[in-house]
Amino acid sequence: MNLKTINLNKFTKGSDIDRNNFVSDLGEAFETIGFAAIEGHDFTNKDRELLQKVIKDFFNQSDSSKMKSHVPTAKGQRGFTPFGVEHAKGETRPDLKEFFQWGPMNAVERGLDKNVLVSHISEMDSAVSNAYNKLEKIGQNLMRAIALHLSLPQGFFESYLDQGHSIFRAIHYPGQTHSSPKGIRAAAHEDINLITLLMGASAEGLELLNKEGDWLPIHVTSDALVINVGDMLQRLTNNIMRSTTHRVVNPPQERLHLPRFSMPFFVHPDERMPLNCLEMCISENNPKAFDDITAGEYLQQRLKEIGLA
């Protein structure tokens, strides 16, 4: 599937017509397949290349070295999480991956769990900090456009995002010596958060499930960011915006030995934000589908379902 690609600069720097068209295009994509791609986001190829380098340097360490960045009490939300821990909701087999997670760059000042620094990997801490701050800004602009599409004030989400708990995750899917009958790189799942921003991975494998029940590989240009709806936004919009099921499949036999690196940014609001279905999204034809819950309560519920809590 070639995702619809829209230019974020049209929203942040364009005319009123440009902005309205961006809002309409984003809303249509999120209401139909739940996925889109954006360019004009100011996250440069140079940023991406440095980030990919330091992430590879980290995961190419020995297991004992990586475990020095593991925080057992962090529920996978900070530092390194080893291979075979996380699984998709409803699955018992773990995904074939290990990962590292960071929260807000000002976490300590806000009284949140501190990030794990990796000073012995040259430029890693600075590259991640730069990427986090840029991706957080992109996510905030996208949520402004989503608010307008929902006929809400543009700043509806801002107070929740200013105190949000967004997560940057670096994922390593190791190369395999033989095809595993016990699982795939990431089993079918939906994201927990409001929206996800995904930089181009180092190898193919990402697929989404369309309305007809077919799995389709996603193709975008290397400088585009793939963006998609998470479960929190689906709840908030009472299923109007779709949190589409996706997965990462194992590569063909001839590329089975190659690792895959992926770097999603999960936009999370303040944990006190109510995820109650918006009134304008409830109607006789679309009755309320979800119980009231806060973002924090929902996050903890989902972390238990995927084996991290």
The per-residue pLDDT for range 221-257, each reduced to its tens digit, is: 778 999 999 999 999 999 999 999 999 988 888 888 8
pLDDT surpassing 70 at residue 180? no
Where does residue 75 fall: left (phi above 0), alpha (psi -120 to 50 degrees), or beta otherwise? left
Q: What is the mean pLDDT of residues 8-19?
A: 98
- Between CA 166 and CA 230 the distance in angstroms is 13
Q: What is the mean pLDDT of residues 148-168?
A: 96
pLDDT surpassing 80 at residue 178? no
Strands 225-229 and 35-39 turn out to be antiparallel
The per-residue pLDDT for range 251-284, each reduced to its tens digit, is: 888 888 889 999 999 999 999 999 999 999 999 9
Give the number of C-alpha atoms closer than 13 A to the C-alpha of residue 231, restricted to the C-beta side: 17
Strands 5-7 and 35-39 turn out to be parallel
Q: What is the mean pLDDT of residues 44-57?
A: 94
Residue 66 contacts by C-beta under 8 Å, 6 or more apart in sequence? 58, 59, 80, 82, 98
Domain hosting 209: range is: 43-305
User: Is there a domain that residue 255 lies in?
Assistant: yes
Query: What's at 140, amino acid-wise?
Result: Q
pLDDT surpassing 90 at residue 203? no
Q: How far is CA 53 from CA 116, 121, 226, in A?
A: 18, 10, 20
User: Is there a domain that residue 31 lies in?
Assistant: no
Q: What is the distance between the terminal CA atoms of the chain, rounded to a whole angstrom?
A: 35
User: Is there a domain that residue 32 lies in?
Assistant: no
User: Is there a domain that residue 189 lies in?
Assistant: yes
CATH classification of the domain holding 56: 2.60.120.330
Alpha helices in 178-285 (DSSP H): 231-236
Residue 193: count of CB within 10 angstroms of its CB: 27
What's the pLDDT at 233? Answer: 98
What's the pLDDT at 309? Answer: 75
Q: Is 151 exposed, middle or buried (0-12, 13-18, 19+ CB in 10 A)?
A: exposed
Mean pLDDT, rounded, of the chain: 93
What's the pLDDT at 18? Answer: 98
User: Is there a domain that residue 67 lies in?
Assistant: yes
User: Is there a domain that residue 263 lies in?
Assistant: yes
Task: Check if the beta carbon of residue 296 is closer than 8 Å to that of residue 222.
Answer: no
- Between CA 268 and CA 270 the distance in angstroms is 7
Residue 71 contacts by C-beta under 8 Å, 6 or more apart in sequence? 78, 79, 80, 116
Residue 123: count of CB within 10 angstroms of its CB: 13
User: Is there a domain that residue 73 lies in?
Assistant: yes
What's the pLDDT at 202? Answer: 63
Tokens, residue 172: 């390593």
Q: What is the mean pLDDT of residues 201-224?
A: 84
Task: Check if the beta carbon of residue 7 is closer than 8 Å to that of residue 223.
Answer: no
What's the pLDDT at 204? Answer: 79
pLDDT surpassing 70 at residue 182? no
The per-residue pLDDT for range 92-104, each reduced to its tens digit, is: 888 889 999 999 9
Least confident residue range of 99-103, 109-113, 152-156, 265-269: 109-113
User: Is there a domain that residue 7 lies in?
Assistant: no
What's the pLDDT at 191? Answer: 95
Our count of domains for the chain comes to 1
State the sign of the Cα–Cα–Cα–Cα dihedral 58, 302, 240, 271: negative
